[in-house]
């Protein structure tokens, strides 16, 4: 069957969703993954964005933003970020979500704030210093990471992105592992999976360190270890992720009308 790696990644992410969930999606490929799930196997999923676009299904292909006409055209309601993040997410009502990451570490902490020169990271020097590369900030991902019952992180699997420790925590995963989230009083449960273009990592139930759970037909355990910046543990039951079914591909492409996932 002919499909792209990004399509496989979106389908693998979509499989993490169940019917009837209240879900929030970030912008980009994560939105396609979520709405693929809604179309494919979770028709009663209610989805919203941090901009307050609630109960919608995108039309015309990949929405360009969280308040794009493609996402807001058929929304049940279009309120605001205070309702979406301040009420629905912060109260712990959201069942599942997807966020993206520029840099990610072994405890699922996400950095979308900046990239620092080695040795000048704020956590190393004990104060905030200016980053070498200024990224776009957490947006609503911080609230989602803190408040959603669980969420999936989607990221391109490259060694420079998968760091032992992120330069800066924009959106917290399990902080330093274990029950660290409890110390901070977060209502949400933390990331349940990191889905990449090479495979799926999941958190150890006790240490919360992410290990390799499964890989795609076009990747391998060795390739994933090579592209991970920490000493990645591999599940003794590591397995290959089933390829997309015809029905899954058809439903994904119906959502991804403009073929964003098929672009190189």
Binding site for another protein (CB under 8 A): 27-28, 51, 62, 64-69, 81, 85, 113, 130-140, 142-143, 260
CA distance 203 to 2: 31
Report the residue number, 191 or 199, with the smaller CB distance to another protein: 191
Which of 7, 16, 21, 50 is catalytic? The answer is: 50
Report the residue number, 52 or 190, with the smaller CB distance to another protein: 52
Report the residue number, 16 or 50, with the smaller CB distance to another protein: 50
**Distance set, CA 178 to CA 103, 157, 191 (Å):** 21, 24, 13
49-52 long-range contacts (CB < 8 A, ≥24 apart) are 49/24, 49/25, 49/84, 50/24, 50/26, 50/81, 50/84, 50/85, 50/89, 50/139, 50/140, 50/143, 50/144, 51/80, 51/81, 51/84, 52/77, 52/78, 52/79, 52/80, 52/81, 52/82, 52/83, 52/84
Catalytic status, residue 50: yes
CA distance 150 to 98: 9
Report the residue number, 127 or 236, with the smaller CB distance to another protein: 127
Tell the smallest beta-carbon distance from residue 37 to another protein (Å).
Answer: 20
CA distance 59 to 179: 41
Looking at the annotation, which residues are catalytic? 50
């Amino acid at each position: 069957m002919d499909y792209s790696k990004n399509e496989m990644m979106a389908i693998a992410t979509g499989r993490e969703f169940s019917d009837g969930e209240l879900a929030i999606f970030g912008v980009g490929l994560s939105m396609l993954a979520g709405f693929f799930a809604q179309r494919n196997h979770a028709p009663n999923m209610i989805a919203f964005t941090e901009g307050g676009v609630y109960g919608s299904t995108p039309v015309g292909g990949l929405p360009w933003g969280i308040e794009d006409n493609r996402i807001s055209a058929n929304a049940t309601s279009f309120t605001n970020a205070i309702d979406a993040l301040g009420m629905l997410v912060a109260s712990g009502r959201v069942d599942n979500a997807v966020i993206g990451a520029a840099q990610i570490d072994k405890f699922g902490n996400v950095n979308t704030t900046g990239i620092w020169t080695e040795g000048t990271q704020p956590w190393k020097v004990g104060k905030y210093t200016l980053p070498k590369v200024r990224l776009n900030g957490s947006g609503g991902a911080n609230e989602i990471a803190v408040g959603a019952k669980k969420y999936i992180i989607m990221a391109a699997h490259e060694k420079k992105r998968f760091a032992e420790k992120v330069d800066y925590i924009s959106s917290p995963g399990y902080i330093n592992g274990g029950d660290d989230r409890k110390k901070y009083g977060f209502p949400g449960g933390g990331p349940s999976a990191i889905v990449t273009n090479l495979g799926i990592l999941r958190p150890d139930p006790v240490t919360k360190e992410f290990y390799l759970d499964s890989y795609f037909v076009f990747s391998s355990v060795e390739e994933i270890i090579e592209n991970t910046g920490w000493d990645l543990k591999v599940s003794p039951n590591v397995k290959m992720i089933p390829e997309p079914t015809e029905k899954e591909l058809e439903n994904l492409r119906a959502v991804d009308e403009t073929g964003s996932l098929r672009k190189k």
